[in-house]
Structure 1
Amino acid sequence: MDTEKKSDRYNKLDLWETKEILDAILESQLSAVSSIKKIIPDIEVAVTKSVPLLENGGRLIFAGAGTSGRIAAQECAELYPTFSWPKNKSIFLIAGGQKSLTEAIEHAEDVLAQGELEAKKIKLTSKDVVICLAASGRTPYTLGVLREANLSGALTIGISSSANSPLLNEAHIKLFPNTGSEVIAGSTRMKAGTTQKIILNMLTTSIMIRLNRTYDSFMIDLVATNDKLIKRAAFIVSEISKVNLESAKDALKKCHGNVKLACVFLKYQDLKKAENILKEFSGNLRKCLDN
């Protein structure tokens, strides 16, 4: 497997000076990041095919084991607070269940049937987008999820750093960042893990932009659940609507913290009209403000 090979570049690593080790790790991480550039066309296809499915009620499903599962879970968790993406539309499946988020569960990833079973439980449909991550591309649990997703007609996206692996061979969209050998042979939490996180960031952020959940480079669908985010919401409304912070806060209060609605309300000064316009343009704030 590509991710398991030992590189001569790191021979006698344990005898190196600490600075040499740090330089080598950084160098490896940068090379991993650069490998993503070559697959941007494939990521673009994934975004383009995902958007209409999600617009029509589909869900984003993430699946993985070990490090890949934890990276998937992290991405899944961020979608609601950042974009107000409904919690029931974003699901992660991880080998070994919730306990695996904080500790390794022995052999949890080795049972293909368990992946199939857990995928069946969430009743996948042809509207869903299923993103499966496995650095080796051979993790049985993740392959079980992938195969069940394919049977359901869902759009499947495979992310693996191993060429010609079962995961890439069977996924509808194949994302292969060619990260090569790790500094520590087989420790795919490093280069392979970095690329998985970046690719997921690219995928989900681009999808949410296309689903009208941003305006300019502002997160207009954020959920203001703490003081920092409440201040950020007011700042965003102030910047977009060109009003002072106090006016932005007042508008947010009238609009129950909804940034989009507050911006439209400030333009029309009529809450009911703002609600109707936002609905008419399917939450596309730019169209609402340009109307």
Structure 2
Amino acid sequence: MDTENKSDKYNKIDLWETKDILESILESQLNAVASIKKLIEELNTAVSKCLPLLENGGRIIFAGAGTSGRMAAQESSELYPTFSWPKNKSLFLIAGGHKTLTEAVENAEDNLSQGELDAKKLKPTQKDIFICIAASGRTPYTLGVLRTANLAGSLTIGISSSSNSPLLNESKIKLFSNTGAEVIAGSTRMKAGTAQKVILNMLTTTLMIRLNRTYDSYMVDLVATNEKLNKRAAYIVSGISNVNLETAHEALNFCQGKVKLACVYLKYQDLKKAEEILIENNGNLRLCLDSNKS
């Protein structure tokens, strides 16, 4: 198995100088990220297939066990605060349940039928997207989720660092990151985990850009829940609308903290019209601001 092999490159690493260990780990991480370059076409295909499903009410459902499951949980949980993506449209399944986010649960990942059951509980449809993650590509729980999703006609995306694995063979879109043997044999939280996170970053962020949840490189759909984010929201409105921070804060307060609405409101000085224009343009702030409606 690709991810379990021991590499001679790291023989007797426990006897190395500390600096050499650190440099070797860094090199391995950079190589893991570099391996993703070969996946650009597959990722492009994934985005193009996901978009119409999400535009028509589909959900993104992440699944994994252990490190991969925690990666799934993290990605799922960050889409709402960053992009206002609805919480009920971004879900995750992890072997052993939420308890395993902080501790290991014995044999949880080996339970294929539990993966099937957990996926069935979500009542998957042809609109849904299942992103199934397993470094080995053989984790029973994750395969159970994948197979249930396939039976429901959902779009399935497999992310694995093991070629010719069941996960990749059975996924409709196959994302194989060729990260190879780990510095510590079998410790897939390292290179394989890094590659998983980068792939997820690329996929979900590009989807949110295409779903009109950014403007330029601004996070215009963020959910401001603390002082830091309130300040960030004001800086964004100020930068886009070319107003001072005081005016930006006033507009945000008037628009209940919604960045896009505040920007459109500042252009038209009419809240109802701003709301209507945002709806007409499907939340695309660029189209709203380029509109010449009086």
Q: Distance in 2 between matches of 1:5 and 1:183?
A: 10
Tell me the equivalent position of 2:9. 9
Tell me the equivalent position of 1:27. 27
Q: How far 1:13 sits from its partner (Å)?
A: 1.0
Pairing of 1:132-147 with structure 2 (within 5 A): 132-147=132-147
Tell me the equivalent position of 1:165. 165
Tell me the equivalent position of 1:201. 201
Unmatched segments (≥5 aa) in structure 1:
none
Q: Distance in 2 between matches of 1:256 and 1:272?
A: 13
TM-score by length of 1: 0.99
Q: Deviations over 1:71-113 (max 9, x none)?
A: 1101111100000000011100000000000011110000100
Tell me the equivalent position of 1:155. 155
Q: Deviations over 1:229-265 (max 9, x none)?
A: 0000011000000011111111111111110000000
Q: Deviations over 1:253-278 (max 9, x none)?
A: 11111100000000000000000000
Q: Which amino acid aligns with 1:68?
A: S
Q: Which amino acid aligns with 1:254?
A: F
Pairing of 1:1-291 with structure 2 (within 5 A): 1-291=1-291
Q: Deviations over 1:30-80 (max 9, x none)?
A: 110100001111011111111110010000100000000001101111100
TM-score by length of 2: 0.98
Q: Which amino acid aligns with 1:150?
A: N
Q: Deviations over 1:197-219 (max 9, x none)?
A: 00000000000000000000000
Unmatched segments (≥5 aa) in structure 2:
none
Q: Distance in 1 between matches of 2:286 and 2:52?
A: 19
Q: How far 1:29 sits from its partner (Å)?
A: 0.5
Q: How far 1:16 sits from its partner (Å)?
A: 0.8
Q: Distance in 2 between matches of 1:30 and 1:250?
A: 44
Aligned length: 291
Q: Distance in 2 between matches of 1:170 and 1:282?
A: 35
Give me the identity figure in percent: 77
What is the CA RMSD across the aligned residues, in angstroms? 0.5
Q: Distance in 1 between matches of 2:106 and 2:43?
A: 33
> Which portions of structure 1, spanning 4 or more consecutive aligned residues, are displaced by more than 6 angstroms?
none
Look up the SS of the partner of 1:2 in the other structure.
coil
Look up the SS of the partner of 1:3 in the other structure.
coil
Q: Which amino acid aligns with 1:261?
A: L
